[in-house]
């Protein structure tokens, strides 16, 4: 059995993202390195390494002498991030193998449909949505692009917990997912990419109201 042998900084980063998803940290919160390191049971060194990584992804900010803090949220930044991910996911889709996309299209359609049926917890919805997008991009051979998308999405997770448990806007999202899948079934890559971009733009507008 291959025992887990991974740098602490990565495990720490993962744990911090988990806590961020749980809503443990409010945006703008300063991070106390000694306190957090003690809480996690590690030293400051790998913790700081994780913090630097997260700062590179835009999850944290760092100011000289003042350490790290969770970057504050803003409508402007959210709009910016959505535009970026929309473009990147569209690119990933367009540079995927059309045959493969046609093959997974039914599955994508199915997922999108029982997406609108089941009204679940917020976190379940998010997970479902993430998995759908992951499957959609699973045929893209551009590894750097996929990494980049993951990284940018990490920066967006700060906005996830602002989406409180209303399910109505999700039905719209499910419709949009269906539209993407349908275009793929038709072999219309361009159209699918456009629908995907729309999905992000609309998703953005759905969220905008909830951001201060």
Partner DNA sequence: GTGTAATATTTTGTATGCAGAATTCATAGT
Partner DNA sequence: ACTATGAATTCTGCATACAAAATATTACAC
User: What is the Cα–Cα distance from 26 to 13, expressed in whole angstroms?
Assistant: 17
Interacting residue with its own copies among 2, 3, 144, 164 (CB under 8 A): 144
As beta bridge partners, residue 62 has 68
Q: By C-beta, is 71 or 170 nearer to its own copies?
A: 71
Residue 142 binding result from DNA, its own copies, none, given CB thresholds of 5 to 8 Å by partner type: its own copies
The answer to whether residues 149 and 88 touch, using CB atoms and an 8 Å cutoff, is yes
Interacting residue with its own copies among 93, 139, 155, 192 (CB under 8 A): 155
Q: By C-beta, is 58 or 169 nearer to its own copies?
A: 58
State yes or no: residue 72 binds its own copies (CB under 8 A). no
Interacting residue with its own copies among 6, 66, 99, 209 (CB under 8 A): 6
Binding footprint of its own copies, residue count (CB under 8 A): 33
Interacting residue with its own copies among 20, 53, 128, 137 (CB under 8 A): 53
CB crowding 163-178: b at 16 or more within 10 Å, else e? beeeeeebeebbebbb
As beta bridge partners, residue 70 has 60
The 10 Å Cβ neighbour count of residue 23 is 10
The answer to whether residues 193 and 93 touch, using CB atoms and an 8 Å cutoff, is yes
Cα–Cα nearest to 29, from 39, 43, 19: 19
Residue 164 binding result from DNA, its own copies, none, given CB thresholds of 5 to 8 Å by partner type: none
Footprint on this chain of its own copies (rule: CB under 8 A): 5-7, 9, 45, 48-49, 52-53, 56-58, 62, 64, 77, 80-81, 83-84, 87-88, 90-91, 95, 142-145, 147-148, 151-152, 155
């Amino acid at each position: 059995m291959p025992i887990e042998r991974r740098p602490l900084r990565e495990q720490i980063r993962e744990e911090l993202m988990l806590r961020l998803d749980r809503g443990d940290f409010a945006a703008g919160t300063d991070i106390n390195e000694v306190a957090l390191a003690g809480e996690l049971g590690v030293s400051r060194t790998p913790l700081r390494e994780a913090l630097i990584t997260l700062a590179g992804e835009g999850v944290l900010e760092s100011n000289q002498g003042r350490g790290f803090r969770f970057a504050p949220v803003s409508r402007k930044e959210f709009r910016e991030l959505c535009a970026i991910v929309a473009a990147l996911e569209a690119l990933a889709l367009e540079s995927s193998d059309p045959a493969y996309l046609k093959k997974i299209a039914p599955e994508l359609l199915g997922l999108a449909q029982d997406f609108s049926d089941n009204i679940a917890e917020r976190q379940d919805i998010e997970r479902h949505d993430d998995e759908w997008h992951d499957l959609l991009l699973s045929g893209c051979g551009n590894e750097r692009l996929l990494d980049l998308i993951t990284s940018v999405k990490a920066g967006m997770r700060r906005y996830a917990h602002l989406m409180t448990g209303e399910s109505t806007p999700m039905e719209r999202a499910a419709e949009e997912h269906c539209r993407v899948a349908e275009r793929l079934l038709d072999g219309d890559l361009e159209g699918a990419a456009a629908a995907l971009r729309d999905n992000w733009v609309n998703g953005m507008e759905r969220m905008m109201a909830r951001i201060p």
